[in-house]
Amino acid sequence: FGSRAMNPPITVCVEGNIGSGKTTFLKHFKKFPDVCVFDEPISKWRDCQGYNLLDLMYKDPRKWSLCFQSYVQLTMLDLHTKPIVEPIKMMERSIFSAQYCFVQNLRNEGLIEDAQYAVLSEWFNFSTANLPIKLDLIVYLRTDPEVAFNRIAQRGRSEENSIKMEYIQSVHKLHEDWLVNNQKLLPCPVLTIDANLELADMAPNYQLCEEKMFQKQKATVAN
């Protein structure tokens, strides 16, 4: 079995703004047999017992943000706690970016009430204190808001066609406050990658992440 199933996996979360290239970045790592990649469960957010919560949220954020973010929290906890046999778990985003970037932004914009923010925060505090959630590395795909915004337009996800540049700038700033300015708890080291680069120029960044990830994994096996 070697390193498989003998140690708890190391967990690597890929973080970044909407349109920063997370899904594309993660696709590169699906070829490694020792890596289990969990994309963002957006299909669940688009079909929760038949309801497209993502669309409802973008259409009427004041009414649907609490509902949407509490389901995001549940689906992220499911992935954080899901056992795997591979020694490395890679996730797209985390319960941390849910709380520190998206829920925080909704509160800042007055799209959720303080009491609703309090309830989401209580779930976050309980979950991070009582559930087996440990991150070993955050890979931050850092982009300029303009780059991210243009990619969202190119991708053309129907629910996202109402997104304004101001929203992308606010979410960017919250990622920077958390991952660069360390204004919120950092659960693990952060590897910041310049994700403004075009896909063709990303190879060295893939290399960097591979080295860091497999190095960390070897370190845990050695202990």
The span of 7-15, 90-98, 132-140, 190-198 binding ligand 8LK (CB under 6 A) equals: 90-98
For helices 165-179 and 145-155, angle between their N-to-C axes, nearest 10 degrees = 130
Find the part of the chain contacting ligand 8LK (CB under 6 A) among 27-35, 94-102, 126-134, 177-185: 94-102
CA torsion, points 86, 88, 94, 97, in degrees to nearest 10? Answer: -170
Closest distance of CB 205 from ligand 8LK, Å:
21
Asked if 190 interacts with ligand 8LK (CB under 6 A), we say no
102 binds ligand 8LK (CB under 6 A): yes
Question: Catalytic one among 92, 113, 160, 176?
Answer: 92
Per CB under 6 A, the list member of 3, 42, 113, 186 interacting with ligand 8LK is 42
Using the rule CB under 6 A, which residue among 98, 112, 135, 147 binds ligand 8LK?
Answer: 98
Backbone angles phi, psi at 84, to 5 degrees: -135, 160
Range in contact with ligand 8LK (rule: CB under 6 A) among 78-86, 96-104, 133-141, 187-195: 96-104
Q: Please, what is the minimum distance in Å from the beta carbon of residue 165 to ligand 8LK?
A: 14
**CA pair distance 109, 74, nearest whole angstrom:** 23
- What Å distances lie between residue 215 and 12, 90, 93, 153, 209, CA to CA? 12, 15, 21, 37, 10
**Residue closer to ligand 8LK, measured from CB, 18 or 88:** 18
Go through 63-92 and write b for each residue having 16 or more CB atoms within 10 A of its CB, e for each that does not.
Answer: ebbbebbbbbbebbbebbeeebebbbbbbb
Chain centre distance of CA 14: 6
Question: Which conformational region is residue 134 in: left (phi greater than 0), alpha (psi within -120 to 50 degrees), or beta?
Answer: beta
- We find the least distance from the C-beta atom of residue 95 to ligand 8LK, in angstroms, to be 7
Active site residue 166: no
* Coil, helix or strand at residue 101: helix
Q: Is 195 in the site for ligand 8LK (CB under 6 A)?
A: no
Minimum distance, C-beta of residue 161 to ligand 8LK, in the bound complex (Å): 10
Instruction: Choose between 35 and 66: whose C-beta lies nearer to ligand 8LK.
Output: 66
| Least Å from the CB of residue 58 to ligand 8LK | 7
Residues forming the active site:
92
